[in-house]
Structure 1
Amino acid sequence: MTSNSEEKELSVIDYVIFAGMLAVSALIGVFYAYRDRKSKNGTRGYLMANRSMGVIPVAVSLGVSFQSAVTVLGIPADVYQFGMMYIWSVLSLILVTIIVSTTFIPTLYNLGISSTYEYLEKRYSKSMRLITTGIFLLQYFLYIGINIYGPSLALSGVTGLSFLSAMLSTGLICTFYTTLGGLKGVIWTDVFQGFVMFIGMLTFIIRGCFVMGGISEVWKIAEAGGRTDILKFDVDPRKRYTVWTVAVGSIILWIGIFGTNQTQVQRYLSVKSQNKAKKSLYLGATIIAMFSTLAVSCGLVSYAYYHQCDPISAGCIDIRDELMPYAVMDLFRGMPGVPGLFLASVFSASLSTVSSGLNAMVTVTVEDFVKPHTRWSERKYTWFSKALGIIYGCMALGISFLASVLGDIVSVGIASVSAFLGPNLGIFLLGIWFPFANSVGAICGFVSGIIVTMTLFFGGRSLKKTNSLIGMLDVGLSHCPGDCGYMTFNNVSYTFEAMNPALTTATSTYEAISAASEPEIDFTPMENFFALSYFYTASVGMVVSLFVGIIASLMSCGWRQRHTVDIQLLRPPFESNFFSCIPDNIRSYLRCGIYWEDQQNYSKKTDSIERKALNDDNKLDEKV
């Protein structure tokens, strides 16, 4: 390992590849704007793709749109520092897809809605719909800001790319193609950007394994450093990563994302049938699992490469989220074009998230705030939607400058989303499962959940935790270059032993910077609440919303009104075939006296009427 203090910078080829990615993204938006310029579908075509999208592009968009800078930059840095416990979040997707496909997709798809929050008006009241839409907009402005600011800061600090250029590239290009292409443009751009992300991450993994002597050597080094231990069954909910915090927290978070979040629901509502919506969900979850696994692998490769010289402790980088760009510039030095490919993959992740968010925010604004109070033509609604997309894009770009005070990408990104998704999921489950739930209960539950999660979010950020709760693992500093130069290798067939013949196996001892052994702190009950793992934010919000919602509904005569609820808005729990072993007299209590058979008969009757109407229309067309 030799040091090299040359200035870190991107080559012309790197910038050409990066610019090419931005150009293709913009051209996709231009293409769909031109192709649909004479469309008469209005906002149904612009915001919902006229429910004409295929399974594969929607599935890829589902999988990519939530793969933000959190995935490409945050997760690898997190694995490097804390180990690969995040893999439990991937495994939790199996249960999540079952729940969403049997509960949320059948309920929402059959309503023929554009905004997820239309369900809340049909189930509760108009005020409930407007409250949740307003909170969604505020929360997503913050989340989009994080996804513009985070990668821009990390990349500018390591690659020499101008911070302002990075911010403007993400915000303006994304606003451009989202505004022009509508949902079709966003979905097909996601497909292209997902391919770029996949190639960029896979290239990093292959190069890192090659340099370190193979996958097995990377695994041995990571195992010796404690990064592969995923069997941490500690029940203390304050610990950042345990099996329970990650698995349970991820299940609630993913259900909230796939079942109630506008950015995801809007995608599977854009396909041609409910069955295709379920297929899109299954394939989309598989793509998310693939990207998350690649991100975890990037973290293990980064640790193996830097296990004897932690660039954070050595002062070579300022924040943990700069680790991946730093490693790319190190591993691929002298290989023009590859750093540009990684740069494109990072910004592809940000662009997919930002464009999905902008499109979702425009949709709920038009459907929930504008259309109910206006009687415009579809053409005017479409032009208004495009203008709103430009305004929202500029606002998000401005808000992104505030993200600098919030901290690392992973915890902030997940916690900010969880603070809204938990209470939001709570009131959806309240409405779907409990026929006695009413508007009073929903509003009380949602507001209570938001207050609690926001208190937890900000209180947790101000609380100093000991490392026994944070769980930072040891890092090495025994072979660092003196001037933070690049760690380069003269022989491309470099192996672990070639660097230091004295270290013949990955289990050899080496000088490590151990996480400080701090004395335990006696927290007050409120501080113990603030100390909860950020993975539990959504779970706390959901439980509070459900509990308060149930109590408030019962206290406001909801039980007497339960038979007046439209049966199509309900999906009682334990009605799935998975629970057919439960006696019906027991399940009757769980459905609060509302019989699932009524809904099944209603659905069959509705399908029969729709088929008859369709046949009549076809016969009429034939006569004409």
Structure 2
Amino acid sequence: MSGDSQVAGSFVTADYVVFALTLVVSAAVGFYFAWASRGQQSSRDFLTAGRKLTALPVSMSMTTTYMSSITVLSNPAEVYRFGAIFAYLSVSYVLSTVVVSEVFLPIYYRLGINSIYEYLELRFNKATRLLGTVLCILNITLFSGIVIYGPALAFSQIVDLDLWGGIFLTGIVCTLYCTLGGLKAVVWTDVFQLGIMLAGYLAVIIKAVILQGGVPTIISDAQQGGRLNFIDFDINPLRRHTFWTIAFGATFNWIAVNGTNQTMVQRFICCKSITHARVALYINMLGLCTFLTGSVFAGLCLYSVYRDCDPWTAGLISAPDQLMPYLVMDIMTGYPGLPGLFFAAVCSGSLSTVSSSINALAVVTLEDMIKPYTNMSEKHLFWMSKGLSVFYGVICISMAGLASGLGGMMQAGATVSSAFGGPLIGVVTLGILCPFANSKGGFSSLVSGLLVSCGLSIASVIYPPSPAMTRPLSLTIDGCNFTTTDSLNWTSTALPTQPTFITATTATLQPLQADYWQAPSYLYIGIIGAATSVIVGLIVTLLTGHEKSRKARPDGIWRGESWQHKSFFL
């Protein structure tokens, strides 16, 4: 346990057993697929499962990948602090799914590409492809480090678990089954981990409902506390959450995730047909909406339990991300195995996201940085794929170590990482919808979008929106009954020292204030980056001479700048 921990509970043997079984089963899946495919030595089979997977396991893998451990911990805390308006995120899931299914999927299947960045070279040039690849690697490795470190830190300050032991276990197990079993192991392990995540979430929700006397009580408490704040159609872009920022701002972010992020696109292209890919995409949408509903209700449960004694305001925890672990150790310690089940759920979120990241990084490195410049045999490419999986596993663990030294700047790192999606969706959209855009316009599009979105991300940390735009809903400690006991229960916990605010969601640095400029909602950064990419790409194209040739290749993409628009759509 961390020496500066505020409150700590204890895991019993059953909790450790449940957690250990999660790791053992995950590793066992990797051993199984390594044994089952021992006669096959193809990098294509290893990295894309031979393009033979069906819709159901792929959709479950997609859902697990993006319902990361940060999501499991942060979404309920978000609802607890800012209200259930967060549920409008389901609108973005639906809209982004339709766009990706009808616009992006046909292109990827028509081309038969293994990496999304192959498209950037086919449509524009090698420079655009390489820049996109570098952005992908930076984005995924940074995010993976935060996914590993953030939950480990949150738990180390709530329960008696070793921080770095959890980090190394997660990283090593991920690397093991990715290296042994390839994409098949990643997908089927995700299926198992999805079950663990659902079970852990449901255990907490059911216990909270019983404790509070039923669902009506929780809904009533939420309504009285202003948490059912669905009627908010303010168009002010500085507001953190309104219907417009969540429903439409997040739509562009999810189009970027589903349409241009290699970890997700790789799931599509490993399906046996475009029909399976589309079905997987829509099942994934249902899965995301289901998880969102559960996380929103979990946030309402949090508020119902702590409506009169907020652990964060009281200083019992150091950041909002610790609310769910605190609740678990508060209400479930009398049920051996259940706290361990929830911790296994959070760990599964880390495992699924990081394993997908390792596999995606291996693909883009092999396809975009090695294959085009070498003449390696298929056997050598196969072993190179395994070596890259090990390499990126080590990198992701190292990024967790870097995250530990960033303190409050982890929030800035996560914001910059999320901003990479805007420029990528912008340049891909330019290529798809603007047939006259040339290679100079494509490269300029990506560079300009990157500069603007990353600049906004950094500026939003230095000059955040005013407190009036981001202030949480009312929280109180009027009902706390502090005593000198060491019990974890919220009604009888000794008031600790001032919280340290060191996790990913709260900055240690005092932000500067600017009277002349304020950052927009973080959900608009992706839109601004994408719009900048498209506009600059069009301007540069018009200034340098748009493409006039219309002679198309059969697959609808050209070399030498010839193209036919209708062939993009099946």
Considering the TM-score relative to the shorter chain, is it more than 0.5? yes
Are the aligned partners of 1:135 and 1:420 in contact in 2 as well (CA < 8 Å)? yes
Give the match for residue 35 of structure 2: 34
* CA deviation string 1:19-60 (max 9, x = no partner): 1000000000111011111114x0110000001111100010
State the secondary structure of the residue aligned to 1:206. helix
Give the match for residue 538 of structure 1: 526
C-alpha deviation, 1:465, in angstroms: 3.9
From 533, 537, 554, give the equivalent of 1:549.
537
Letter in 2 for 1:560: K
C-alpha deviation, 1:310, in angstroms: 0.4
Are the aligned partners of 1:58 and 1:187 in contact in 2 as well (CA < 8 Å)? yes
Are the aligned partners of 2:556 and 2:568 in contact in 1 as well (CA < 8 Å)? no
Give the match for residue 70 of structure 1: 70
The unaligned stretches of length 5 or more in structure 1 are: 491-520, 572-591, 604-624
What are the within-5 Å matches in structure 2 for residues 436-475 of structure 1? 436-475=436-475
Give the match for residue 100 of structure 1: 100
State the secondary structure of the residue aligned to 2:353. helix
What are the within-5 Å matches in structure 2 for residues 411-426 of structure 1? 415-426=415-426
Give the match for residue 498 of structure 1: none
C-alpha deviation, 1:564, in angstroms: 4.6
Are the aligned partners of 2:430 and 2:437 in contact in 1 as well (CA < 8 Å)? yes
Query: Take 2:7 and 2:447, find their aligned partners in 1: how far apart are those partners?
Result: 54
What are the within-5 Å matches in structure 2 for residues 387-426 of structure 1? 387-404=387-404, 405=406, 407=408, 415-426=415-426
Query: Take 2:480 and 2:220, find their aligned partners in 1: how far apart are those partners?
Result: 21
C-alpha deviation, 1:408, in angstroms: 9.2
C-alpha deviation, 1:70, in angstroms: 2.5
C-alpha deviation, 1:236, in angstroms: 1.1
Are the aligned partners of 1:435 and 1:570 in contact in 2 as well (CA < 8 Å)? no
State the secondary structure of the residue aligned to 1:476. coil
State the secondary structure of the residue aligned to 1:422. helix
Runs of 4+ aligned structure 1 residues displaced above 6 Å come to none
Give the match for residue 507 of structure 1: none
C-alpha deviation, 1:296, in angstroms: 1.3
TM-aligned CA distance change 1:226 to 1:593, over 3 Å: same
Give the match for residue 9 of structure 2: 8
Is 1:211–2:219 an aligned residue pair?
no
TM-aligned CA distance change 1:557 to 1:299, over 3 Å: same
State the secondary structure of the residue aligned to 1:538. helix
Are the aligned partners of 1:331 and 1:488 in contact in 2 as well (CA < 8 Å)? no
State the secondary structure of the residue aligned to 2:104. helix
TM-aligned CA distance change 1:414 to 1:225, over 3 Å: farther
Give the match for residue 301 of structure 2: 301
TM-aligned CA distance change 1:272 to 1:315, over 3 Å: same
TM-aligned CA distance change 1:342 to 1:245, over 3 Å: same
Query: Take 2:165 and 2:489, find their aligned partners in 1: how far apart are those partners?
Result: 28
Give the match for residue 240 of structure 1: 240
Are the aligned partners of 2:146 and 2:414 in contact in 1 as well (CA < 8 Å)? no
Query: Take 1:268 and 1:150, find their aligned partners in 2: how far apart are those partners?
Result: 29
Query: Take 1:489 and 1:397, find their aligned partners in 2: how far apart are those partners?
Result: 38
Give the match for residue 259 of structure 1: 259
* CA deviation string 1:423-456 (max 9, x = no partner): 0000000000011111111111111111111111
C-alpha deviation, 1:255, in angstroms: 0.7
C-alpha deviation, 1:396, in angstroms: 1.3
TM norm structure 2? 0.91
Letter in 1 for 2:296: V
Are the aligned partners of 2:464 and 2:513 in contact in 1 as well (CA < 8 Å)? no
Query: Take 1:567 and 1:296, find their aligned partners in 2: how far apart are those partners?
Result: 47
State the secondary structure of the residue aligned to 1:159. coil
C-alpha deviation, 1:459, in angstroms: 1.1
C-alpha deviation, 1:229, in angstroms: 0.6
State the secondary structure of the residue aligned to 2:472. coil
Structure possessing the higher radius of gyration over alpha carbons? 1
TM-aligned CA distance change 1:539 to 1:565, over 3 Å: farther
TM-aligned CA distance change 1:456 to 1:522, over 3 Å: closer
Query: Take 1:85 and 1:414, find their aligned partners in 2: how far apart are those partners?
Result: 22
* CA deviation string 1:230-253 (max 9, x = no partner): 221111101111111111111101
Give the match for residue 503 of structure 2: none
Query: Take 2:66 and 2:180, find their aligned partners in 1: how far apart are those partners?
Result: 21
Task: Report the count of equivalent residues.
Answer: 540
Query: Take 2:31 and 2:394, find their aligned partners in 1: how far apart are those partners?
Result: 19
State the secondary structure of the residue aligned to 2:144. helix
From 469, 487, 494, give the equivalent of 2:489.
487
State the secondary structure of the residue aligned to 1:551. helix
Root-mean-square deviation (CA), in Å? Answer: 2.3
Query: Take 1:117 and 1:187, find their aligned partners in 2: how far apart are those partners?
Result: 22
The unaligned stretches of length 5 or more in structure 2 are: 1-5, 493-511
TM-aligned CA distance change 1:224 to 1:125, over 3 Å: same
TM-aligned CA distance change 1:93 to 1:570, over 3 Å: farther
State the secondary structure of the residue aligned to 1:158. coil
Is 1:17–2:10 an aligned residue pair?
no
Is 1:378–2:366 an aligned residue pair?
no
Query: Take 2:520 and 2:536, find their aligned partners in 1: how far apart are those partners?
Result: 21
Query: Take 1:215 and 1:413, find their aligned partners in 2: how far apart are those partners?
Result: 38
C-alpha deviation, 1:466, in angstroms: 3.1
TM norm structure 1? 0.83
Query: Take 2:70 and 2:230, find their aligned partners in 1: how far apart are those partners?
Result: 20
